[in-house]
Amino acid sequence: MKRRTFLLTGLTAGGALVLGWATLGPRQRLRGSRPLPTTGGEVPINGWVKIAPDETVTVIVPKSEMGQGIHTACAMILAEELDADWSRVRVEHAPIDKIYNNIAAVVDALPMNPDSDGMLKQMVRTSVANYAREMGFMFTGGSSSVTDTWEPMRNAGAMARAALRAAAAAQWNVLPEACRVEDGVVILNDRRLTFGALATAARDHLPDRWSLKTPQQFSLIGTSPVRLDAADKSNGKAVFGFDAGPADRLYAAVALPPSLGATVARVDDAKAKAIPGVIAVVPLAGGRYGSRPGVAVVAKDWPTARQGVDALATQWAEGDGGEFSSREAAMDLEARAVRNDGKIWRDDGDVVEAYRRAVYSVEAAYGVPYLAHAPMEPENCTVLVRDGAAEVWTGTQVPGVVRRAVADLCDLDEDDVTLHQQVLGGGFGRRQIVDYVVSAAEIAKAVPGRAVQLLWTREQDIQQGPFRPLNRARLTAALDGDGRITALTSASAGQSMVQGWSRYLEDRIAQNFPEKTTVEGLIDQPYTFPAIRVVHDRVDLPVPVHNWRAVGHSYTGFYLESFIDECAAVKQLDPITYRLAMLASSPRARAVLSLAAEKAGWNAPIAPASPGARAGRGVALRRCFNAYEAQIAEVEISADRQLRVRRVVSAIDCGYAVNPDGVKQQMESGILFGLSAALHGEITIEKGRVAQSNLHDYRPLRLSETPVIETHIVVSDEPPGGVGEVGVAAIAPAVTNAIFAAGGGRIRNLPIRLEKAEVVR
């Protein structure tokens, strides 16, 4: 099997596990440019771990905890190599430093087929990795966190362990190799020294070399401990951005543009200022980092600030999107997909010849709507500007961008801005941008010396965007006499999420980001087609768009996996057998597909639970975020045509599973996030105004709609891949394929509306 080339073969002594970023060397990310901040006698051993006299081991985690369990996973990776006492391990958000830059996600974004090796591609990946290390930035996203931290976390733990052991050996006047390390203690026969007692001395014994464990030696990695944040998130003690900041802070609410691109024409703030408790009215210029123009009201509490906003007489001037209609835009994108003259992303084999020889041809048009992220914690940020410095309290996926944006807005050096990173009440990509941070800084500047918390309403969260883009596609295939695909083409049209992100970031690396997200999952899908052509027409529209969980896979998965089912149906071939025949070059994809089929009982008859209902199973396969996943959904359509998704079986190969229960949790999470969108998710815009307003009409999935989910993890010694977004992509096509199998017709547009199902053949 070919390995992904960017994970150069840094084999351990055991030889089983590819380690990761061997190209950069273990030291390049080990020590930060400044010492870690410490309290209570903590001793930093390197940029990733501190040890305190009371035996607390603090793991420094550069990834944002937004629900995905990354703090626990990162702590496990480091604690494993350190041989720490897990009960003494805690985590702390990393400061901003380039050793924490996200390298994996940048390299992963290169538009290269993961299956192909080659010297040139290796060189490109290595130089991009170095570029990301020096010029990139810290961010959490792209399901890259474990992949990105796997090697530095392990090396940092092993290095610290070697230093602690050498310090003990020096005290005992023996060779370090004579000592062993267990649960935070260095042991020599009946002598014992704890990490806490050794930490200071360990600083004088920092090693040049250390060895990493083999997977056979792992005792923590590969297990499923209780999450480090589980208790605090069950008793209300977890501190989110919404909960953080000085107790005497003021609160701000904002009036934001009611239509796309609108600006403030005139505002009469007299009535607002007359409300008792209102402290200031602050105009927002907007513009920087995608922030919006508007008017903020600062008050002693948030309900009063909102009253103030309601009392503002704000007149808005319509902007470039004032006439925008998502219905009309969808028609235009459909026409562009038919026109098929966008950028050619992949053109392999002879499509024309395949069509000339085709016995059957298949054609289908698909579409997906705009979607909001709608994390449960609405956008908020607290800023204090005082004496030539600023402090920021928020939960963000991009800490360095937050610091830079506040420095820019307040004319400060970045060193004068302190970010207090908090846990995130959901991210899904929304907290990769800092528009609301900029507004908070604009407001705080006007009230110097007082901390101000800006909080958006839920309506603003849903209506202001940015959104997952509207997209339309037309797929065609040529089939031979046996119904096998001889050529596949995809032509799609829509906005680019990464282009949207780069505008929000004002960041050079992001603006130069190789833009593959519009066609990911089409150009790098795991099937072998004799001929394939992938075209995308990138369209600029006056709608803010940005990464949304699973990015391009959130719709390309629906397109391709629906379409393959449609092709299989031409000769009534079994959808799994049909797929397996096209996966000769992807054993990992074959394995997850076969495992899902076995666990779901694919070949067993399926019966509806209620009289008059019809049931069916559907399958979908995805390779994304360095993982492979197959899902089989079981649906039931009642006599009165109500859809129920009753069971989902997932088989995932995410490489080495650091925390199997964490993997399962993320599969459940991704599947339900994707199902939420498949069943209900839709943002529509008319006359530049978003029609949906809150969680009653932009409706997340509910407990009552939640299917039974079974996750099966393929045991793997491949390096760890991603899991956070993987489950999102396959659920929509698995469900729509199941609807087809149940006789409910073919669903080609999301969200699913059974009454719009097309009768096919």
Partner 1 sequence: MIALTLNGAAVELDLPDDFPLLWAIRRQGTLTGTKFGCGIAVCGACTVHVDGAPVRSCSTPIASVAGKSVTTIEGLSDPVAAAVQAAWTSLNVAQCGYCQSGQVMAATALLRSNASPTDDDITAALDGHLCRCGAYPRIRAAVHDAARRLATPASTPTAR
Q: List interacting residues with partner 1 (CB under 8 A).
A: 66-69, 224-227, 229-240, 242-243, 247, 301-303, 374-378, 423-428, 455, 457-459, 661-662, 665, 668-673, 676, 694-696, 700-704, 706, 708-709
Q: Which is nearer to partner 1, 379 or 566 (CB)?
A: 379
- Which H or E element spans position 703? none
Nearest distance from residue 122's CB to partner 1, in Å?
A: 36
Distance between CA atoms of 629 and 591, rounded to whole angstroms? 9
Nearest distance from residue 505's CB to partner 1, in Å?
A: 23
Distance between CA atoms of 338 and 655, rounded to whole angstroms? 39
Q: Which is nearer to partner 1, 235 or 315 (CB)?
A: 235
Q: Which is nearer to partner 1, 231 or 760 (CB)?
A: 231
Nearest distance from residue 735's CB to partner 1, in Å?
A: 15
Nearest distance from residue 199's CB to partner 1, in Å?
A: 30
Nearest distance from residue 86's CB to partner 1, in Å?
A: 13
Q: Which is nearer to partner 1, 39 or 704 (CB)?
A: 704
Tracing tokens 């040139």 back to the chain, one arrives at 120
Nearest distance from residue 428's CB to partner 1, in Å?
A: 7
Q: Which is nearer to partner 1, 255 or 424 (CB)?
A: 424
Nearest distance from residue 80's CB to partner 1, in Å?
A: 18
Q: What is the DSSP letter of 177?
A: G
Q: Which is nearer to partner 1, 13 or 231 (CB)?
A: 231
Distance between CA atoms of 74 and 649, rounded to whole angstroms? 27
**DSSP string of 204-245, one letter each residue:** GG--S---PPPGGG-SSTTS-PPPTTTTTTTTT---BGGG-S
Q: Which is nearer to partner 1, 416 or 661 (CB)?
A: 661
**Dihedral, CA of residue 309, residue 312, residue 313 and residue 314, to nearest 10:** -60
Distance between CA atoms of 242 and 264, rounded to whole angstroms? 27
Q: Which is nearer to partner 1, 696 or 761 (CB)?
A: 696
Q: Which is nearer to partner 1, 353 or 661 (CB)?
A: 661
Give the 3-state secondary structure of 630-664. Answer: EEEEEEEECCCCCEEEEEEEEEEECCCCCCHHHHH
Six token digits for residue 259: 């239509």
Nearest distance from residue 500's CB to partner 1, in Å?
A: 21
CB 443 within 8 A of CB 298: yes
Six token digits for residue 721: 């891949």
Tracing tokens 């440019």 back to the chain, one arrives at 33
Q: What is the DSSP letter of 208?
A: S
Nearest distance from residue 716's CB to partner 1, in Å?
A: 22
Distance between CA atoms of 199 and 489, rounded to whole angstroms? 61
Six token digits for residue 255: 């009036």
Q: Which is nearer to partner 1, 169 or 596 (CB)?
A: 596
Nearest distance from residue 662's CB to partner 1, in Å?
A: 8
DSSP bridge partners of 666 = none
CB 701 within 8 A of CB 676: yes
Measured at the CA of 623, the angle between CA 134 and CA 136, to 5 degrees, comes to 10
Nearest distance from residue 30's CB to partner 1, in Å?
A: 30
Residues sharing a CB contact under 8 Å with residue 37, sequence separation 6 or more, in sequence order: 95
Q: Which is nearer to partner 1, 559 or 698 (CB)?
A: 698
In a 3-state reduction of DSSP, which class is residue 362?
strand
What is the CB-side half-sphere exposure of residue 152 using CA atoms within 13 A? Answer: 30
CB 71 within 8 A of CB 229: yes
Distance between CA atoms of 341 and 350, rounded to whole angstroms? 18
Helices (H), 281-366: 302-311, 326-339, 351-357
Q: Which is nearer to partner 1, 217 or 224 (CB)?
A: 224
Nearest distance from residue 164's CB to partner 1, in Å?
A: 29
